[in-house]
Structure 1
Amino acid sequence: MEDAKPMLLVLSLLVVAILPTLRANIADFDEVWKKRAEDAKKASLEAYDPHPERVTQNVNEEVHEALEGDDGKRRNLKKYNGPCTATNPIDRCWRCDQDWASNRKKLADCALGFGRKATGGKDGEIYVVTDPSDDSLLDPKPGTLRYAVLQPQPLWIIFAHNMMIKLSQELMVTSNKTIDGRGANVHIANGGQITLQFVRNVIIHGLHVHDNKAGNGGMIRDSFDHFGLRTRSDGDGISLFGATDVWIDHISMWNCQDGLIDAIMASTAITISNCHFTHHNEVLLFGGSDTYSDDKVMQVTLAFNHFGKGLVQRMPRIRWGFVHVVNNDYTHWLMYAIGGSQQPTVISQGNRFVAPPSLFAKEVTKRGYTPESVWKSWNWRSEGDLLLNGAFFVESGSPITNLDTKDMIPAKPGSFVARLTRFAGALACVKGKPC
């Protein structure tokens, strides 16, 4: 029996290591969390679109309309000080309105792609964050961001002034919330991550999120009327766990301890757009486990993002789901850009891929340790991508024309990407002027 003790200790440590992933850092999976998990699974199934190709077609149509008559040659990436120019269809919906600050909720009508149904706090009051502190995890002060995101009603959350918010532990965001950083220079940095766990209908816009660290956990309030013991958090920028109808737009992100954005455990109906990612290793993770087949419902749109300096891999790395990668600018990677396992579908349209100097990193795609005899049937397609400096995309599966639509409009080609992504990242919006 003495010889068995070391093995029992190893097994115990394995259980401790595995459970936080399966249970999303919930130490006590009580009746409240069980109900939330059940509701989240139902929401994922409801949000799943059985015809994802129609969603990709809609995005392409909107891009064509936004660039009607544009020859795509206006690619000067120097700082722009001229009149407002909305260079893609999402931005065209709201950016050049000089009264945007009075019409903030117009943003809720502007999403495209799989997260297009996210309206966040559109049906609620505007809540102004005035206090950047995060001193109490159980009884947060009114005026703080933590207090705002825990309220039970829909809220459109804005910021009174520029602020640096260092989260003492992960920030548990509840359903029907918009976090809108426009008009202030807001940094969520050097502390805990933003967590969307078993929630739906959330918009996060206009923030700088960087240098987040893993949290030690502890007693943390996760809603207005519930708190519980949390285990260690990962140190992501933004973590989606069983979350649906989520739109992440115009966020500048870099250098977090784990991923910049992770979407796992049947998260779906997600759009990530107009973001600027820099200086990070494992950038985006969609699907956290090769064994969690419920991630088959995961559907994500990546549009008009700039993958910039100092990035290594996972832009994104996908398991099981369907990802539309459209009109993004990939100007830096060290290992690969798009990777995956467990038969995900990847539709890459009109992106610009600039390969690094290394002869060993020219391939855009990476399919892990899966043999070609398996991955050759996965549907990974490239259409209109601009492949530069020796970049190449290894396709597999069926051609795009075999998708379930006969009139799919192609995305704008990769030569338009510099214009479409010109204003990626958090914007310096000023009240009374177009953003």
Structure 2
Amino acid sequence: MLRNTHIVFICLLGCLCPVITATDLPHQHPNPEAVVLQVQRRLNASLARRGLLGVHENDQVSCLTGNPIDDCWRCDPNWEADRQHLAECGIGFGQQAVGGKGGQVYVVTDHSDSGNPGSLRYAVTKPEPLWIIFSSDMLIKLKRELIVNSYKTIDGRGANVQITGGGCIGLKYVTNVIIHNIQLHHCVPSESDGDGISIMGSRYIWIDHCSLSYCKDGLIDATLGSTAITLSNNYFSHHDKVMLLGRSDGDEMDDGMQVTVAFNRFGEALEQRMPRCRRGYFHVVNNDYTQWGIYAIGGSASPTINSQGNRYTAPPSTNAKEVTRRMDAKDGDWARWNWRTEGDIMVNGAYFVPSGDGLGAQFAMASSVEPKSAGFIDQLTMNAGALPPTSVVGGIPNGQVPNSIPNSQVPNGVPNDPVPNVGGTNGDNGGLGSYSGGAASGSNYGDGGGGAAAGANPGYAGGGAASGSNYGDGGGGAASGSNYGDWNFFGMTHGSGAPRLPPPSTTSVLSAPFVTLFLYFIINYGCSILPL
């Protein structure tokens, strides 16, 4: 009887072998230099397009900047009619993040952190894909960390959306999240470390056009094997430890971490960690480092850092001119770490100390297209940070609900009240807005949530999947016909809304019975069958 029980167990195990094989997906891109090359190609094409229009169509040049992300959507006066097109504009390691693409549009009408329908907390915890927008300007004061579920886009375009308080945003073991055009500041510990955005064990993450400052711990931290991340067009200011990529030297799961840091502006009153890297591969491209207090880019545990086309402006202190900082390693050890600088501009005595294969053939493929001169930095980062509503072409004036809500009526609770005068400009601070010291004069920003009535009829605005999309079957939720087919390297099976796994291979299915038969003979006849 015991043997028969073993046989049944083994048969079941054999039947599960194909499933186990199918879920064993890779966690990192097998050729990171190819991703770097693709970023450069996209950038070169966007700059070339702007140059051509500068000759023939001067009226469009003011919109096109050469920034491939912004030029993908901002110049369309009808962008609000297809908000989900943003998911096709990403670059770098996080390019495949689709967020809530293909899902319904959800309108946040309640500025409170109640978790009731109409609030942001209610929307981000739903299991289905959602594209989350805001009915008006809002200041959302969190009581605790805002945990975001898989397949969500938080899209603050057309509104001034600020998030502060406990947390703030946590992405924990999820996949496919896009956070766009949000201001995060004064985040404090509350069931968390007090990061602006904390990414743990997650894949396909894209943080774009956010302004982050004054948080207790990091502004953005990515740890515990997170990968396939792009951090772009953000504005960082007033903080000590800005960005941590990799929790500790001993976390081998971070070997597969791959992050693109592009077109960001590192502004005033920053000290260090822009970023601070461990183990993985980090492409730092076309960012503007206006100052730092201790160092700009640091690392330990042999990370690969590829710095291209950045502008590094050193502080006045003679003790802080070096861009780089190696931690917890002797000279003989870090000399083998792959740190490369290419096309970077060093200002006010700044200098980058390269090492390892960064001096040789390792980056030959990535360097086959010359990175654009850091002379383009002003142009590429001019709109870094959260965009004020009036700076978006085709934006949403006077609190009007966008036209991107097809085939349904706008919920009754979405007001058409005028947008309060929140303040702020699109100058050096990337349109951060004047949150310091409270709401702007004359607005009811803190009490009224920008005019969103508490208890209003909130929720789904319809829309659903775009025509022709193939959510769940189209390669990680990509719309049919998109170019995501070549990017199926960052498999994720955990979290809600994950696309179905590919069917097990024919080889796996056919091999299972033979494995079962072999184990049957071993159990019943032991080693006596070996001479046969």
2:45 and 2:250 mapped to 1: Cα distance?
A: 41
Write the letter of the residue equivalent to 2:372.
K
Aligned: 1:258 with 2:211 = no
- After superposition, the C-alpha distances for 1:270-300 in whole angstroms (9 at most, x for unaligned) are 0000000000000000001111111000000
How far off is 1:415 after superposition? 1.5
Measured on the aligned residues, the alpha-carbon RMSD in Å equals 2.0
**Hey, what does 1:412 align to over in structure 2?**
372
Change (3 A) 1:292 1:61: same
**Hey, what does 2:321 align to over in structure 1?**
362
Write the letter of the residue equivalent to 1:386.
I
State how 1:203-352 maps to structure 2 within 5 Å.
203-215=178-190, 232-352=191-311
Which aligned segments of 4 or more residues in structure 1 are displaced greater than 4 angstroms?
none
**Hey, what does 2:446 align to over in structure 1?**
none
State how 1:394-409 maps to structure 2 within 5 Å.
394-398=353-357, 399=359, 401-403=361-363, 405=365, 408-409=368-369
Length, aligned pairs only: 365
CA contact (8 A) 2:49 2:66 kept: no
How far off is 1:192 after superposition? 2.3
SS in 2 for 1:366: strand
Structure 2: runs of 5+ lacking an equivalent: 1-19, 55-60, 396-532
CA contact (8 A) 1:156 1:179 kept: yes
1:52 is aligned, of 20, 27, 32, to 32
1:179 and 1:406 mapped to 2: Cα distance?
A: 32
Structure 1: runs of 5+ lacking an equivalent: 1-38, 75-81, 216-231
2:297 and 2:197 mapped to 1: Cα distance?
A: 19
How far off is 1:429 after superposition? 3.1
Aligned: 1:157 with 2:137 = no
Aligned: 1:426 with 2:386 = yes
SS in 2 for 1:86: coil
- After superposition, the C-alpha distances for 1:188-242 in whole angstroms (9 at most, x for unaligned) are 0133210000000000000000100000xxxxxxxxxxxxxxxx31000000000
**Hey, what does 2:145 align to over in structure 1?**
170
How far off is 1:254 after superposition? 0.4
CA contact (8 A) 1:99 1:431 kept: no
How far off is 1:368 after superposition? 1.3
**Hey, what does 1:62 align to over in structure 2?**
42
CA contact (8 A) 1:84 1:434 kept: no
1:279 and 1:70 mapped to 2: Cα distance?
A: 33
How far off is 1:179 after superposition? 0.2
1:301 and 1:392 mapped to 2: Cα distance?
A: 22
User: TM-score under structure 1 normalisation?
Assistant: 0.81
- Identity across the alignment (%): 52
CA contact (8 A) 1:381 1:400 kept: no
1:404 and 1:432 mapped to 2: Cα distance?
A: 38
Write the letter of the residue equivalent to 2:166.
G
CA contact (8 A) 2:74 2:392 kept: no
How far off is 1:68 after superposition? 1.5
Write the letter of the residue equivalent to 1:428.
P
Change (3 A) 1:392 1:248: same
**Hey, what does 1:227 align to over in structure 2?**
none
2:160 and 2:166 mapped to 1: Cα distance?
A: 17
Change (3 A) 1:294 1:415: same
How far off is 1:406 after superposition? 7.9
- After superposition, the C-alpha distances for 1:243-285 in whole angstroms (9 at most, x for unaligned) are 1000000001101000000000000000000000000000000
**Hey, what does 1:381 align to over in structure 2?**
340
SS in 2 for 1:103: helix
Write the letter of the residue equivalent to 2:188.
K
How far off is 1:430 after superposition? 4.5
SS in 1 for 2:179: strand
**Hey, what does 1:105 align to over in structure 2?**
84
1:367 and 1:434 mapped to 2: Cα distance?
A: 46
How far off is 1:168 after superposition? 0.4
**Hey, what does 2:97 align to over in structure 1?**
118
Change (3 A) 1:311 1:432: closer
Structure with the higher strand share, 1 or 2? 1
How far off is 1:401 after superposition? 4.2
CA contact (8 A) 2:37 2:366 kept: no
CA contact (8 A) 2:43 2:66 kept: no
Write the letter of the residue equivalent to 2:45.
E
Which deviates more, 58-67 or 307-316?
A: 58-67
User: TM-score under structure 2 normalisation?
Assistant: 0.66
State how 1:5-44 maps to structure 2 within 5 Å.
none
**Hey, what does 2:159 align to over in structure 1?**
184
SS in 2 for 1:269: strand
Structure with bigger RCO (C-alpha 8 Å, 6+ apart):
2
**Hey, what does 2:423 align to over in structure 1?**
none
How far off is 1:84 after superposition? 2.4
CA contact (8 A) 1:56 1:324 kept: yes
Structure with the higher helix share, 1 or 2? 2
